[in-house]
Structure 1
Amino acid sequence: MKMPSHLAREVSEAARRRGISRSALIREALEAFLRREKAAPSVSALSRAVDIVGAFSGPEDLSVNPDHMRDFGR
């Protein structure tokens, strides 16, 4: 597995501290990451921002006003 040299050093140090191989440490880290990913519910942008949605006044949707999109992407 390719990784930046600073990360390779950290992995080697962590593996040495735990008394396991670098490969075993990386396997454990990947398994833990994948378990968390599987267990974590998918969260929408709206559910993350629900406390501020509607907190500001202004037009409801700027994308429908051509003036706001005139130079978009330039």
Structure 2
Amino acid sequence: MSNVDFSTEPTIESLANEVACLKATLTFMLKAMGQADAGKVIINTQKFAAQLEDPAQAEAFNRTLSQIIHEYRK
């Protein structure tokens, strides 16, 4: 992995596209894990989000998690 370039283009649109890709990737990974393990990941992630001190960050985290959960349950 030391030769892989994970740089991001300096535009908001490219960053938004990369975030959408990561959300989709995480959703597919959860689906591949199996229901019990994916449920544990979701619960632990929800607990982490509840501990965030910055309200704006917590809101963004919860909104993203809600999107992932919605797609996971389809």
TM > 0.5 between the two?
A: no
Q: Which has the higher helix share?
A: 2
TM-score relative to the length of structure 2:
0.29
Larger RCO, structures 1/2 (Cα 8 Å, 6+ apart): 2
TM-score relative to the length of structure 1:
0.29
